[in-house]
């Protein structure tokens, strides 16, 4: 059986790390891609420890040159990309009235523009193979909005629009493009939030618990599998009922 290659952006920590390990256990060869070179290697070592195959690349999604160089390195080593998980993302929160232009630009650049250029790097190869999975990690706030996150919400809403457009463009080549919209997931990014914000979030979650990175990783595993071959252009909400 062909070992498929999965690239996980932002694979050095949090949801990305959990996704890399989960896909490894499902038999995928893993590419850990992020600018955190040492942490990339740590995750790759974890993948190899569970009898998987892993390579790492330094990927800075704010730079088109870095994106091109990283994917050139991936194809040189792995020869193919079957699954792209656009997981990398950042926040720079502020109320819209006081949001700095550079904070708007950087969040859009990494979360949306960088994801688009990453998609461009893999589409031709997937079309040639007539098989592919692109899975974009959006957010509940890309659908609901959230005060103080105009840039982040816009980037994730844009990612959902990108998902649906690419799904239509690539469907005839047996390439599916889907998004996952996580709710409040316990990661380094959310750990820094004030206690009162977390309490407010918890009150809005019918399941009365925060999500774990594995909750998202398991959804990625399903969408990356043959079982999801007739699902495309879908936004899978993994949020404990926070937004329906």
The predicted pLDDT at position 136 comes to 99
Rounded CA-CA distance 216/239 in Å is 9
Structural domains of the chain sorted by starting position, each given as residue range(s) with its CATH number in brackets? 5-236 (3.40.50.720)
Q: Which of 102, 179, 87 shows the shortest CA–CA distance to 142?
A: 179
H helices of the chain, where?
14-25, 37-49, 64-78, 101-108, 114-129, 141-144, 150-170, 188-191, 195-203, 213-224
pLDDT tens digits for range 51-108: 889 999 999 999 999 999 999 999 999 999 999 999 999 999 999 999 999 999 999 9
pLDDT tens digits for range 94-125: 999 999 999 999 999 999 999 999 999 999 99
Residue 189: is its pLDDT beyond 80?
A: no
Q: Is 230 a catalytic residue?
A: no
Q: Give the side-chain half-sphere CA count within 13 A for 231.
A: 18
Q: Which residue has the higher pLDDT, 176 or 193?
A: 176
Q: Which of the residues 75, 152, 230, 243 is marked catalytic?
A: 152
Rounded CA-CA distance 133/136 in Å is 10
The predicted pLDDT at position 169 comes to 98
Range 82-97 burial, b when 16+ CB lie within 10 A, else e: bbbbbbbbbbbeeeee
Verdict on whether the full-model pTM lies above 0.95 = yes
pLDDT tens digits for range 118-156: 999 999 999 999 999 999 999 999 999 999 999 999 999
């Amino acid at each position: 059986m062909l070992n498929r290659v999965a690239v996980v952006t932002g694979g050095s920590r949090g949801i990305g790390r959990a996704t890399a390990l989960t896909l490894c256990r499902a038999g995928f060869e893993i590419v850990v891609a992020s600018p955190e070179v040492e942490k990339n290697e740590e995750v790759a070592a974890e993948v190899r420890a569970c009898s998987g195959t892993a390579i790492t690349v330094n990927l800075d999604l704010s730079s088109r040159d870095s994106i091109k160089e990283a994917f050139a390195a991936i194809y040189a080593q792995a020869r193919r990309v079957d699954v792209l998980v656009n997981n990398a993302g950042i926040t720079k929160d502020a109320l819209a009235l006081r949001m700095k232009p550079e904070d708007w630009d950087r969040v859009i650049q990494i979360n949306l523009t960088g994801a688009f250029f990453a998609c461009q790097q893999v589409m031709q190869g997937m079309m040639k193979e007539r098989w592919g999975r692109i899975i974009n990690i959006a957010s509940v706030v890309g659908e609901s909005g959230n005060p103080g996150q105009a840039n982040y919400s816009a980037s994730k809403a844009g990612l959902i629009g990108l998902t649906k457009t690419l799904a239509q463009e690539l469907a005839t080549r047996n390439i599916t493009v889907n998004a996952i919209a996580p709710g409040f997931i316990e990661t380094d990014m959310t750990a820094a939030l004030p206690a009162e914000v977390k309490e407010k979030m918890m009150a809005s979650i019918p399941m009365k618990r925060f999500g774990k990175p594995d909750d998202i990783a398991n959804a990625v595993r399903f969408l990356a599998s043959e079982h999801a071959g007739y699902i495309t252009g879908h936004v899978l909400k993994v949020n404990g009922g926070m937004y329906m």
